[in-house]
Amino acid sequence: MFNSKVFVAEFIGTFALVFVGLSATIVANGDLVGVALAYGLTLAVFVYAYGHISGAHFNPAVTFALALNGTVKWVQAVFYWIAQFAGAILAVFFLKTLVEPLGADMGKLLTSGILTESQPIMAMVLEAILTFFLVNTILYTMVEGKGGVFASWAVGATLAFATLVGFLFTGDAINPARTLAAAIFAAPSLTSVYTYVIYVFGPLLGATLAVIVSNFLNGTAEEIEEDDEDDVVESAEEGA
């Protein structure tokens, strides 16, 4: 079911995340902390702003996870993905148009790191792990509602530390929209199998694992609550 408000929120949020993050990558001159803060703070702000409208996914892997656990329907997920890819593509196009005439190194738009070609399987595993962290935080702070007013900052902080850990190794995409949008304007990476194995399959794998673990932990919590209730009932019966 198409919802124009959700579409616009996802489009704007993804545009902002990709535009600010890649802008920081171009101008930071190796300042990894600056890049991490750019991504983390942007995500935190727009989760806070649009979380009540669309859930503030801004990432196809996050939408995939929330479709897997039933938070959104698969038909809805398709419109999320269209908005996210459109926002990311427009962000990269605008950034390229803005800075390329100034002589900026557009090669920095590429999503790659020291593991991308030398150890692609390890790069994929790292992308999966970092995506797992991000989706896990989203599931427990936003979907489960346990983060309260601090949920957006928890999600933003997770992306920030994921960037600190993964940027040098893989370019730390953990967002297929960002990767494919950059690849369109920085060929030949769009034709590389690594683009899809590492930066699409890796995040989707991590998102899937996060949902599996969440379901397991929630099931365990329910069992504990049931056991506690049984103990209360038994104690009451013994007291009677």
- Alpha-carbon distances, residue 192 vs 86, 142, 216 (angstroms): 21, 35, 36
Domain ranges of the chain: 4-239
Token digits for 207?
């998102």
Show pLDDT as tens, one digit a residue, over the chain (240 residues). Answer: 789 999 999 999 999 999 999 999 888 877 899 999 999 999 999 999 999 999 999 999 999 999 999 999 999 999 999 999 999 999 999 999 998 888 777 776 778 899 998 999 999 999 999 999 999 999 999 988 777 888 999 999 999 999 999 999 998 889 999 999 999 887 667 888 888 999 999 999 999 999 999 999 988 655 555 555 555 445 555 555
How far apart (Å, rounded) are the C-alpha atoms in residues 24 and 63?
Answer: 25
Question: Please, where are the H alpha helices in 28-112?
Answer: 32-54, 60-68, 74-99
Assigned superfamily of 4-239: Glycerol uptake facilitator protein. (1.20.1080.10)
